[in-house]
A and B are shown apart, each in its own frame.
Chain A
Amino acid sequence: MSLNPRRRLLLASGLAAVAGAFGLRAFAQDKVIRITAKKFEFAPSDIELRKGEPVVLEFTSADVVMGFSLPDFKLRTDIVPGGFTRLSFTPDRIGVFGFACDHFCGDFHEDMTGTIRVVG
């Protein structure tokens, strides 16, 4: 089935919301890291996590559609204004891992990067 980008985005957002709803009980026990994306930064942009400790990354956008991509852990999600998307995540290795916005959002899109530091 071929979907245009807008339909694909809406579907992805819907699936993320459903996943969030069904995962609430598990999420409730996990540490939640709230991350706001806005032109042109993530806040916070440097996040420290513990290896083996489950967390929920909860995203929202203050202005336009953004993306969050953490390639080393093959994690990504769309970030839509007016809503929340959640990623459940348990870092399984120590190190510093870069993330970036992967939805072109304007002049300083390339500055929308950050790091997740996983400690023991």
Chain B
Amino acid sequence: MRSPIYSGLGVLYSKEISDHLRSKRFMIILVLVGIICLSSIYSAGMGIREAINKQSDDFIFLKLFSSSGDFIPSFASFISFLGPLIGLSLGFDAINGERARGTLNRLLAQPIHRDTVIVGKFLAGTSILSIMVLSLGVAVAGLGIIMTGIPPSFEEIGRLAVYLVLTVVYIGIWYAISLMFSLVFRQTATSALAGIALWLFMAVFVGLLAGIIANGLYPVNNRPSIETVLKHETLKQNLSRVSPLIIYNEAVTTILNPGVRTMGLIMSSQLEGAIAGTLPLGQSMLLIWAHFVTMAAMIMTCFAISYIIFMRQEIRTA
């Protein structure tokens, strides 16, 4: 029995899914991401073979995702940089595209609630990118096993799963942002551009700006005191955490590299007496829990804003 409140949600959801799957845009993204992943995994695999011969290390399997070759960045950094593009391209014309084509008011004239449309679109988009990310991750893992001949340990599988979930959430943020832009801007071209602009800002300029601000408040030159350096670094780190890219990168580094036990500066006094070793998965999770929650909150905030705008917006393009 279908709930009366969301009658039509299933229909809308399946239509959105099939729209995505049939669209040429989706194919282009898939091909692009596929090529990038294959190349990065290939180069990482080459590097790993040499590494195995030289040293015996734990978590070799995870290195498939996090280590880079000579010229090609790692799989993880590729995804962190290009993930936004996937999210943005899935959603930038979600609502204003329908409006421009004149299908929105026809759709809303059907016996469905208005929020069904936006909820359906959001669910369909997130499903699509979940499927995409998960299958990509599994494919890369499978390829890695074939190439290196090393099976992953249980812990590695766990870490890989967490990594993929993080990635889904991360791309989900960008999807939610693009959905929001598709409501704020009437033109699809404008919303696409705004999305790309935000992406570049977050990827490139937030780090620079954070550095400049931190430098202005706590200048680090001419033998600064240790406190100034600490404050400088903390401020810089916190400011740059505005960017989903930074948060995601921190979380991914922690989860893919069990050797990471803290983020930011640590003093040698703090390391005194520490036993070199790796963190168990649970401890790594604890380290990135705040990151995870922040990212989830970013999605929810964007979606809530979109929801409110959509419910209040006049149908008419006045």
A, B assembled together: no
